[in-house]
Chain A
Amino acid sequence: MDEPTLLAALAADLDRAFETLVRARQDRLYSIALRMLGDPSDAEDAAQDAFVRAYRALADWEAQRIRELRLDAWLATIVVNIVRTRARRRSAAGRRESLTFLDELDHPRSVPADTPEGRLTRREASEAWARRVLALPERYRAPVVLRHVDGLAYDEIAGVLGRPQGTVKAQVHRGLALLRAMLEAEGPEDGPAEAPSTPPFAPARRTTDIPIPRLQEVTR
């Protein structure tokens, strides 16, 4: 279903169409959350929260406003804000009780159809890249994830993060340079053996000159 059709369906009957939206965008929101947070359960929780917030917002909106929505940037804004809030009170006991389903729902829905050997090396390589991205300071990590993992355009990322487009471009560029530097520091064979030296969202990094938009400001 293309975006205008999906938006029209949401505007016409939110309850009926919402599952289609979740199915169509779950991998994107989950991937953004996972690459920013690192922990799969935290990421699932964040993605779940994001969809729930999206539904509640859409339920209050008029049809016209829903049809005019820039869906992907809007959803990314929601999940990025949740990820930031979550990271800030990371250890706080706030995680919801998740349900344990009896069916095969608990397992990943698909595994790459590769040879076992190829699959393994690819997953290892992917995990190494995931660790490097997590090691990026937050102000670079979010733009890099949104640009290169999610594939949003620069003007959309600027809207999501509430930063000027030029700043976002520079931050993506700088983020990639840091990734390259990490790769070089690791040497040829051994890959990134250790956990990121900078924990995600380290307090020292949070003092940023860039205003962080609140959800209401961006979605209003």
Chain B
Amino acid sequence: MIRSAGALTDQALAGPLADLRTTAPGTLVPHVLIDLGLADAYAPIDSPIGPLYVAFNGLGVVAVEQAADGPSFERAHATRYGRPAYPVTALPRRLATAIRRRLAGDRRARIPLDLRGRTAFERDVWAKAVEIPRGEVRPYGWVAAEIGRPKAVRAVGTALGHNPFPLIVPCHRVVRSDGLIGQYSLGGPANKRTILAAEGLDPDELEALAHAGVRYIGSDTTRIYCLPSCHHARRITDRHRMAFRSVAEGERHGYRACRVCRPGSASAAA
């Protein structure tokens, strides 16, 4: 049968055309919400302390957390952020690459962070922590002095304790002002030691120095003193190594402060 134009009215066409209204794929809503930061996605990454979950959205990384499994991560995340977290098979490629580079010590790897609701002080503290090189540590007081808030040592500790981006923002590289390793928010102090050791630092050696009252290490050839974990200090051979208990002691011996690790910032703080 040949259909004639007259047989198929506009009205007859309306039905089949209306049937072209279809159902959006189930991924559309989460994609939109994640893009806008109204929901998050998450995927696991490897770390020296085992798998960690990284939550992110279109604005950046939201959190790095330890959890027994995906569902418990989702529950904790929903409670803390009031947003759902959708499991995805992998982080977006660029983000995964940037995180891998940052964890390997590349401080210039750009990792966008979702900093909504964070204070300017917290941002300053976290930005300063990112400047600490892999395999080195700085005291809380150093961070406080470096951000121009030398009296805010305790607040620095709190801001680092609330760091939602552990490892990406290396709060594990900030230690007590007496040189002891101190607390760690991501599963306790043992994890902090494990991560530091994985970065090539010996936490026991560091604490042995602290117990001996050594705060600074100088070189009798350059006559420069450093924080003990500064890579310039660690290059000094035993024969030329000088131990100082205070900045004043170093200055008294005619040493000047290292311009890289700026040990003066550690002593300037209260």
Contact with B along A102-138 (1 / 0, CB 8 A): 1111111110000000000010011001100100000
Bound together, the chains give a CA A107 to CA B10 distance in angstroms of: 34
Select which of B23, B25, B90 is within 8 A of A100 by beta carbon. B90
Name the prevailing secondary structure of the A interface residues.
Answer: helix
Bound together, the chains give a CA A55 to CA B2 distance in angstroms of: 50
Known contacts A19-B38, A176-B10, A188-B1; A102/B93 CB under 8 A? no
Chain A residues near B23: list those with CB within 8 A. 27, 30, 108-110
Bound together, the chains give a CA A183 to CA B8 distance in angstroms of: 10
Q: How many residues of B sit at the interface, in one of the four size bands?
A: 35 or more
Name the prevailing secondary structure of the B interface residues.
Answer: mixed
CB–CB A130/B26 < 8 A: no
Chain B residues near A89: list those with CB within 8 A. none
Select which of A97, A144, A177, A181 is within 8 A of B17 by beta carbon. A144
Known contacts A30-B22, A104-B26; A183/B86 CB under 8 A? no
Closest to B11 in A: A176
Select which of A28, A29, A51, A98 is within 8 A of B27 by beta carbon. A98
Closest to B19 in A: A126
Known contacts A99-B88, A148-B17, A180-B13; A47/B22 CB under 8 A? no
Interface pairs (18), CB distance under 8 Å: A22-B28, A22-B32, A30-B22, A44-B28, A48-B31, A98-B27, A99-B86, A102-B70, A102-B87, A103-B86, A103-B87, A110-B23, A148-B13, A149-B20, A149-B21, A151-B21, A179-B13, A180-B8
The residues of A with any CB-CB pair to B shorter than 8 Å are: 15, 18-19, 22-23, 26-31, 34-35, 40, 44, 47-48, 51-52, 55, 97-110, 122, 125-126, 129-130, 133, 144-145, 148-151, 173, 176-177, 179-181, 183-184, 187-188
